[in-house]
């Protein structure tokens, strides 16, 4: 595969990862959970900016992404004022929707691509 093919593949992969993480992020925000970080990639931070209570950014290694939601596990340290907005305090059905929202975005992407090609 030539350089242009690799570049197209990398961009498509990053868009897919971005949409996946956006699914988690939007669902969590809709349910009032506190999201402190939204990053594409892993490793050292190349660029980031703050908007409200969330830091958005790009990391050096384009192998995935993540959204940091306060209180994702029971061992996470959570400030007392943030506890009501933590993931672990949300009802089970809301946590399930937040977890499934990333995968749901892949179905949305597939539908958009199918209609675009058709």
Q: Give the separation between CA 55 and CA 45, rounded to whole angstroms.
A: 11
Dihedral angle of Cα 71, 99, 29, 17, to the nearest 10 degrees = 110
Q: Which of 21, 55, 81, 83 is catalytic?
A: 21
Helix 92-117 / helix 3-30 crossing angle, nearest 10 deg: 140
Please say if 53 is a catalytic residue. Answer: no
3-class secondary structure, 1? coil
Residues in the chain, total: 118
Catalytic site residues? 21
């Amino acid at each position: 595969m030539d350089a242009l093919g690799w570049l197209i593949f990398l961009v498509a992969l990053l868009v897919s990862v971005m949409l996946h993480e956006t699914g988690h992020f939007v669902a969590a925000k809709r349910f009032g959970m506190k999201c402190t970080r939204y990053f594409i990639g892993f490793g050292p931070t190349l660029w980031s900016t703050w908007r409200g209570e969330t830091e958005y950014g790009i990391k050096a290694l384009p192998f995935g992404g993540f959204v940091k939601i306060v209180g994702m596990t029971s061992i996470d340290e959570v400030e007392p004022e943030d506890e009501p907005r933590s993931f672990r305090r949300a009802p089970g059905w809301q946590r399930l929707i937040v977890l499934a929202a990333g995968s749901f975005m892949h179905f949305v992407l597939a539908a958009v691509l199918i209609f675009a090609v058709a």
